Amino acid sequence: MKVAIVCDWLTNVGGAEKVLLEVHRLYPKAPIYTSKYSRKGIDWFDDADVRTGWLQIFPTCMRRLLAPLRQRWFAHLDLSEYDLIISVTGAEAKGVKSGRRLHEEGKHSKNPKGIHVSYCHVPTQYYWQMYDQYVENPGFGVLNPVVRFFFKLMVRPLRRGDYKAAQAPDYYVTISEYAKELMAKYYDREAVVIHPPVEVDEFRMNTVKTESRGAFATTGANSEASPVTTGANEEATRGSVLAVSHPEYFIITSRQVNWKRIDLAVKACMKLGRKLLVVGEGPEHNNLMKMSNGSKWVEFLPLQGKRELAELLAGAKGYLFPSLEPFGIAPVEALAAGCPVIAYGEGGARDYVEDGVNGVLFDKQTVKSLSEAMEKFEKLKFDTEKVVKSAEKFGAGRFDKELRKFVDEKLK
């Protein structure tokens, strides 16, 4: 069977790339077609046959400006020779047509029985459900007014193009009940929910009770806090849960872009006087640094390895998840490490956060609502084992079986 994998771009590390990596592991010989590949931004696919086209000549920083060109490129990408096309997409890659679709349209097809299964995270956010937020802050700094003006002019034809592209796949799979609702609303397409793979086992640690592990040590009332660990780190191995007796910090791990609303977490922790670790990088990093203004309550850390990140999560009081997302792999990783989640109660978080059991949900994306949820959270006691178990059903093995079963049924 000839298989091709398609994705929007491969320029950075994120949740979508984790899904793509798992699909690549399922079909390791399948070439990966994408509009832009930057090995400097992501080196997970060195063993893969990654294929790009003429869009590769554009610098990575222009990616967000190239949506019209990506729509055209994917729509004209001829993969009709393949028996199976799997797209992992939240933007334009869904526009690839299978041999079956081309045959149905009366066009030349190398393989009239070939199908396209699209694992679509969500309808293209900047055209549809997050259009207002994008227009408010496109993320181009001083060029925002110019980008905003032209985007408003172009959004209608871009939406038409996106809707047309959404009719190309033969079958849809999506990541949550929330995403399924959006697929029906904006694309008039039905989708089956298969939750994305989470490396649950990678974030489970041995049960080690210690007052200092992962907590913060201070030498004075006004001193800057920094993480400290003990020799107990050497005892931790994959398999169960690391429990911390007195966790004293909240944590958020995310690509730092404006729509992730990391600003709410920073402001809420500064308002309440709670320690926050912000792990990651992205275009909003400098703005977030300015917002914290050197506050002792907010500390920024670069991207971490899995081991280090698992320890930080296991040692945290709670994970803050203030963004509206179709799923959210990072908070499930936190649950797997035994860290309860405080999440905005819309979007994909509804599929894995049970209020009062493994976290707390809040109803508005405001500092006030998040702050109140944090205060409620601190009054509750969470069973660490229950928190961990709530993440187990999202493991990579489950994803592999469900996706393979779905694909095999459609190929019959």
- Mean pLDDT throughout 124-143? 83
Identify the CA nearest to 30 among candidates 16, 48, 43: 48
How confident is the model over 258-303, as pLDDT tens digits? Answer: 889 999 999 999 999 999 999 998 888 999 999 999 899 999 999 8
pLDDT of 135? 83
Residue ranges in 277-347 assigned as alpha helix (H): 285-292, 306-314, 329-336
d(CA 142, CA 322) in angstroms, rounded, equals 26
User: Which of these ranges, 54-63, 124-133, 138-147, 232-241, has the smallest mean pLDDT?
Assistant: 232-241
**What is the mean pLDDT of the segment spanning 225-236?**
34
Top-confidence residue, 237 or 68: 68
Q: Taking 50 as the threshold, does the pLDDT of residue 208 lie above it?
A: no
Q: Which range, of 187-201, 204-218, 306-320, averages the lowest pLDDT?
A: 204-218
Per-residue pLDDT of 86-113, as tens digits, reads 999 999 999 999 999 999 999 999 999 9
pLDDT at 229 over 80: no
Q: How far apart are CA 4 and CA 85, in angstroms?
A: 5
Q: Would you state the structure tokens that stand for residue 371, as one six-digit string?
A: 């702050």
CA distance 375 to 405: 44
Which CB contacts under 8 angstroms, 24+ apart, belong to 148-156? 154/68, 155/127, 155/131
Show the beta-strand stretches assigned E in 90-157: 115-120
Q: How confident is the model at residue 224 (pLDDT cuts 50, 70, 90)?
A: very low
Tell whether the model's pLDDT for residue 237 goes beyond 70.
Answer: no
**DSSP letters along 152-221, please?**
HHHHHHHHHHHHHHHTS-SEEEESSHHHHHHIIIII----EE-PPPB-GGGG-------SSTT-EE-SST
Q: What CA dihedral angle connects 170, 176, 182 and 187, to 10 degrees?
A: 0
Residue pair 214/312 in contact (Cβ under 8 Å)? The answer is: yes
Determine the Cα–Cα distance for residues 72 and 40; give it in Å rounded to an integer: 26
Number of H-type helices and E-type strands within the chain: 13, 15
Q: What's the pLDDT score for residue 141? A: 77
> What percentage of residues in the chain have a pLDDT greater than 90?
68
pLDDT tier, 205 (very low <50, low <70, confident <90, very high otherwise)? low
Given phi > 0 = left and psi -120 to 50 = alpha, else beta, which region is 167?
alpha
CA distance 88 to 297: 38
Q: pLDDT tens, 320-359?
A: 999 998 899 999 999 999 999 999 998 899 999 999 999 9
Tell me the mean pLDDT in the region 240-268: 78
Residue 365 pLDDT level (bands cut at 50, 70, 90)? very high
Residue 318 pLDDT > 50: yes
Q: Hey, what amino acid is at 232?
A: A
Band of pLDDT at residue 247, cut at 50, 70 and 90: low
Q: Answer yes or no: are the C-beta atoms of 192 and 409 closer than 8 Å.
A: no
Examine the pLDDT at 206 and tell me if it is beyond 90: no
Domains and CATH numbers, the chain: 3-197+397-411 (3.40.50), 200-393 (3.40.50.2000)
The pLDDT score that the predictor gives to residue 134 is 80
